[in-house]
Amino acid sequence: MSEVRMVFVTAPDESTAVSIARQMVEEGLAACANLVPGVRSIYKWQNEIHDEPESMVIFKTTVAGFEALKQRILALHPYDCPEIMGVDVADGHTDYLVWVAEMVDIQK
């Protein structure tokens, strides 16, 4: 298994997603962020069913960098309970995985 973790985060709109994504990459908490606009989320929150448009951000970070990334997203995100889901990468293109590890700087 690699040391890379993909992190899925939804945001209320593309502008918020871009802002959070750019900040995480600039701060070295993620090597990369892919934005997927036009996500539709159907969920139950506070005993009500919601059907909302959102944007998804897929971050590439490291296992060691995940906690710092999560805490920073929590500080910036407008939701009371944002989706932040980390998934370990089992395998991938070695050069890409090495690049991700080199780009994430949790020592800042």
Domain count, the chain: 1
**CA 5 – CA 54 distance, rounded (Å):** 22
Mean pLDDT along residues 95-105: 94
- Helical residues (DSSP H) of 29-106, grouped into ranges: 66-76, 94-103
Per-residue model confidence (pLDDT) at position 1: 64
In a domain, 108, yes or no: no
Residue 68 lies in a domain: yes
Tell me if 59 is assigned to some domain: yes
Asked whether residue 73 is domain-assigned, the answer is yes
- With tokens 């985060």, the residue in question is 9
Range of 85's domain?
4-103
Quick: pLDDT tens for 35-93. 999 999 999 999 999 999 999 999 999 999 999 999 999 999 999 999 999 999 999 99
Q: Looking at residue 33, which CATH number applies to its domain?
A: 3.30.70.120
Q: Is the pLDDT of residue 30 over 90?
A: yes
| Contact (Cβ atoms closer than 8 angstroms) between residue 92 and residue 2 | yes
3-state helix, strand, coil in the chain (%, to 5): 30, 40, 30
Instruction: Look at residues 15, 8, 81, 12 and name the one whose alpha carbon lies nearest to residue 52.
Output: 12
